[in-house]
Amino acid sequence: MTPRSMFALALALAALAGLSACGHDRQASSPLAPEVSALADGAADTATTNGRDGRGDGDDDDGDGRRSGLPDFDPEDFVRHVDHPYFPLVPGTLYTYRAETEEGTETSEFRVTHDTKRILGITATVVRDKVFVDGELKEDTFDWFAQDEDGNVWYLGEDTKEYENGVVVSTFGSWEAGKNGARAGVIMLAHPRVGDDYPQEIAPGIAEDRARVVALNKTVRVPYGTFRRCIQTKETTPLEPGFREFKYYARGVGLVLEVSGDGERVELTGVTR
């Protein structure tokens, strides 16, 4: 997946008040402000302590509570909607992001569609991610996500196109679980713990991102607001030695910030429905 393809998403308004707990400060006009601002900070740790952890018996435990590998994957154990507190996908929600790059001002539109796609017998939610540089379309990607009954959010692939002057110049990076040796990875564990390490994409030679949970209580400030008790992950890939990227997920919202190794920031600027 491209670094811009991960975009965090809001819970349904009816469920948000019960699920969200990453504290934040935001203007009252923000679409999610009334629901999220009423939450108590003390509930923020429930995602890491309650319920089953969704890990398979074959996964490694490093002896200090850290886990490495994937949960059990069973297509019959998936639910219809993705409602993870730190990675909710509510159809009809649009997230916008901005970054200042060497090429210019980059903006991203991450839209949770009402469409679905059947992959390995699983009904996946389709997310469309469009990236622009100074207003010109550079990437147009369809991502496929699904959640199992334990709460793990799986990444089942992507269909990506890169553009130059309005013309498709590359589809490299596209993959689908179950085809050409590709397998499903995990975008968000059901109950993340510091030190957990897991593959997000398993498409040899095409997409091999891996994540490690770094922290569970970071404070993040972006144009959309200030968020507390956020999950921080570190992403790497053997396809780009030396590459690293930190991502921050706010409870009740999703991905709010990406910071690359050279300090470039991709910040959440808005959420609309």
Task: Count CB neighbours of 103 within 10 A.
Answer: 10
77 three-class SS: helix
In the predicted model, residues of the chain with pLDDT beneath 50 are 2-23, 26-58
What is the model's pLDDT at position 189?
98
Picking from 124, 112, 119, the residue whose alpha carbon sits closest to that of residue 88 is 112
What is the model's pLDDT at position 65?
66
Segment 222-259, tens digit of pLDDT: 999 999 999 999 999 999 999 999 999 999 999 999 99
- For the record, the structure tokens of 141 come out as 């990607």
Picking from 58, 41, 46, 69, the residue whose alpha carbon sits closest to that of residue 229 is 41
Q: Is 134 exposed, middle or buried (0-12, 13-18, 19+ CB in 10 A)?
A: exposed
Percentage with pLDDT > 70 across the chain: 76
What is the model's pLDDT at position 60?
60
Picking from 132, 139, 178, 180, the residue whose alpha carbon sits closest to that of residue 155 is 178
Rounded to an integer, what distance in angstroms lies between the CA atom of residue 259 and that of residue 225? Answer: 17
Segment 169-200, tens digit of pLDDT: 999 999 999 999 999 999 999 999 999 999 99
What is the model's pLDDT at position 273?
87
